[in-house]
Amino acid sequence: MGVFEQKFKVGDRVRAKEGSAYSVKKGDVCTVTEILNENAIRFRKPDGTIDGWGSENFELVEQPWRPKVGDRVRFTDECKEYWWFGPHSENKEGVVSLDRGADYDFDDGRFEVRTSDSFGIVGLKHIEPLPVAAEAQPLRIVEGRFYRTRDGRKVGPMETFLNMFSAEADGTHRIFQADGTHGSQHVKNLPHLDLIAEWVDEPAVPSDTVAVEATASNDNVPKSTAGFTIPLVGEEPANDNQLVVTIALDADDFHEELNEIIAKLKKIRKLQRQTGLAA
């Protein structure tokens, strides 16, 4: 027989393709415990005993998840209720600190999982991979938008500059890369000026005298309409006891609307004097 390239490694689960006259049955699933040479392996049989045979008599079984030292894991419902760790306790997850190997005699004590200042001894059924949060999408600068620097300042609107971007910051125009990094090949990076997110203004604070109905301002989205309601007093009809003012911030006839509002406000002032609500 020619040289046979060893296709298995310790810990692999393998299935017997043929039966042995001695102890292995066709279809038995075993776990590789040792590589004897390029043609033979030693393995743990379903009954727990160890045997050896030629690698060509086995095929690889689809491998289950196999934790590695350093992997973050969480404990499963297989953990006992009286254990100090597990999903029922405050210690719900940890880091694999030791793997005693596939040939360890006590399967339920193969792994050490460190949590806080101690560790638990568990088997594969007691742990599962800790889901990894989706990675944040990298920032991509867009012309005309505003961004927040690492130290919290508002920068923008962004302008294209060669294959980069430019905007005023610290009283002068600064250069930014497409991912928001400040500087260039010829301009030293100032980390506090790196752009880390798009800018969103804080919500508008209502006035003490006017009830404002408006959402948070954001220079990166089209202008919205803001409005406010002013209660009327005096001899106005019962069904007309409120003045609702709507201002289209991006309207071409803004000044005409503003003049109309001023006229209505003067009318309110007059009514307040007539009723003694104002001097």
Residue 1 pLDDT: 44
Residue 273 binned pLDDT confidence (cut-offs 50, 70, 90): confident
Contact indicator for 86, 80 with CB cutoff of 8 Å? yes
Give the number of other CB atoms < 10 A from CB of residue 140.
Answer: 8
Q: Which pLDDT score, from 0 to 100, does residue 124 have? A: 85
**What is the pairing mode between strands 50-54 and 40-44?**
antiparallel
CA dist 160 and 172 (Å) reads: 16
Give the per-residue pLDDT at 191.
Answer: 81
User: Within 13 Å and on the Cβ side, how many CA atoms surround 60?
Assistant: 10
The residue type found at 245 is V
What confidence category does residue 236 fall into, taking pLDDT thresholds of 50, 70 and 90?
very low
What pLDDT, in 10s, does the model give residues 43-102?
Answer: 988 888 898 898 889 998 877 778 888 888 999 999 999 999 999 998 898 889 888 876
What is the reported pLDDT for 213? 42
Residue 238 has pLDDT above 70, yes or no: no
* Cα–Cα distance for residue pair 55/32, rounded to 1 Å: 10
Which runs of E-coded beta strand occur in the chain? 13-16, 29-35, 40-44, 50-54, 58-60, 72-75, 93-99, 111-115, 118-122, 127-129, 147-149, 154-155, 159-161, 164-169, 172-176, 195-198, 211-213, 225-231, 242-248
Domain ranges of the chain: 13-60, 72-129, 147-198, 211-274
Q: End-to-end CA distance of the chain, in Å?
A: 113
| Stated pTM of the model | 0.34
Confidence of residue 165 (pLDDT cuts 50, 70, 90): very high
Contacts of 201 (CB under 8 A, 6+ apart): 216, 217, 218, 219
User: What pLDDT does 206 receive?
Assistant: 52
Mean pLDDT of the chain: 77
What lies within 8 Å, CB to CB, of 269 at 6+ separation is 278
Cα 224 from Cα 275, distance rounded (Å): 37
| Mean pLDDT, residues 217-234 taken together | 52
Q: Is the pLDDT of residue 105 over 70?
A: no
CATH topology of domain 13-60: SH3 type barrels. (2.30.30)
Nearest CA among 230, 232, 191 for reference residue 212 = 230
Distance from CA of residue 215 to its chain's centroid?
26
pLDDT at position 58 is: 92
Q: Which residue has the tokens 């798009």?
A: 198
Using the structure block, give the residue that is written with the tokens 């050896």. 52
Mean pLDDT over 224-245 rounds to: 50
Residue 38 predicted with pLDDT over 50: yes
Which three-class secondary structure string do you get for 173-223?
Answer: EEEECCCCCECCCCCCCCHHHCEEEECCCCCCCCCCCCEEECCCCCCCCCC
List, for residues 251-264, the tens digit of each pLDDT value. 455 666 677 777 77
Q: Within a 10 A sphere around the Cβ of 53, how many other Cβ atoms?
A: 21
| 249 — pLDDT class (breaks 50, 70, 90) | low
CA 181 – CA 175 distance, rounded (Å): 9
Which of these, 74, 97, 98, lies nearest to 86 by C-alpha position? 74
Q: What is the pLDDT of residue 172?
A: 81
Q: What is the mean pLDDT of residues 212-224?
A: 51
Express as a percent the part of the chain with pLDDT over 90. Answer: 11
Mean pLDDT for 164-170 is 84
pLDDT > 50? residue 28: yes
